[in-house]
């Protein structure tokens, strides 16, 4: 499977397993799962045929490990804008986590902190390198340091997805520092 096809399939899966399952006529269960045969049939019915081998390739090679297969089901690890309950237990975060963004967003972030926007959670990275890559998707990256330890001690709840993305409802501005 070439790189272009891999990216195309990954974007298709992200759109329909995280944001718009109804667009191709699939229904995610309460935890975000859908049967693989149902997904493949729906993709084919909507002119986006993909094979099980292509799906397995994308799941196995996605650098962010966005998707997980469990038997005959698939779901996105996190990042949903549709109502799902991933069932992730609360977890104690490391002392610091990181968030990649771009300079035009800083004014709002300084005033309001990090908000989940359309997603269920704010996504945080365990290392600066990952946060830098995340921020670079939208332009020149700026990395914010999140005092996750202090947030946790103050009662904020964190979860960590199977692919290592840390999730929390919001990050108030008092827990943020700009990292140069």
Q: The tokens of 90 are what?
A: 């609360």
Reported as a single tens digit per residue, the pLDDT across 149-179 is 999 999 999 999 988 999 999 999 999 998 5
Question: What is d(CA 180, CA 163) in angstroms, rounded to the nearest whole number?
Answer: 26
For 91, other C-beta atoms within 10 Å of its C-beta total: 13
pLDDT at 117: 84
Reported as a single tens digit per residue, the pLDDT across 26-71 is 999 999 999 999 999 999 999 999 999 999 999 999 877 889 999 9
For 3, other C-beta atoms within 10 Å of its C-beta total: 8
CB-CB contact of 50 with 17 (8 Å): no
Reported as a single tens digit per residue, the pLDDT across 71-104 is 999 999 888 888 888 888 999 999 999 999 999 9
User: How would DSSP label each residue in 39-102?
Assistant: HHHHHHHTT----HHHHHHHHHH-TT--EEEETTEEEESS--SS-----PPB-PPPS-EEEEEE
H or E stretch covering 3 = helix 3-14
What domains, with CATH codes, occur in the chain?
Answer: 3-76 (1.10.10.970), 97-177 (3.20.170.30)
Give the predicted TM-score (pTM) of the model. Answer: 0.77
pLDDT at 55: 96
């Amino acid at each position: 499977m070439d790189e272009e096809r891999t990216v195309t399939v990954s974007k298709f899966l992200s759109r329909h397993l995280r944001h718009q399952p109804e667009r191709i006529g699939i229904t995610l269960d309460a935890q975000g799962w859908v049967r693989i045969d149902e997904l493949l049939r729906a993709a084919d019915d909507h002119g986006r045929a993909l094979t099980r081998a292509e799906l397995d390739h994308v799941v196995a090679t996605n650098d962010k490990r966005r998707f997980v297969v469990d038997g005959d089901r698939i779901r996105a690890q996190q990042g949903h804008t549709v109502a799902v309950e991933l069932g992730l237990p609360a977890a104690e975060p490391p002392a610091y986590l990181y968030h990649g963004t771009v300079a035009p967003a800083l004014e709002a972030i300084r005033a309001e902190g990090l908000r989940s926007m359309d997603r269920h959670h704010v996504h945080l990275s365990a290392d600066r390198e990952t946060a830098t890559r995340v921020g670079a998707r939208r332009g020149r990256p700026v990395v914010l340091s999140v005092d996750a330890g202090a947030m946790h001690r103050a009662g904020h709840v964190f979860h960590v997805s199977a692919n290592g993305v840390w999730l929390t409802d919001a990050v108030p501005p008092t827990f943020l520092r700009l990292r140069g």
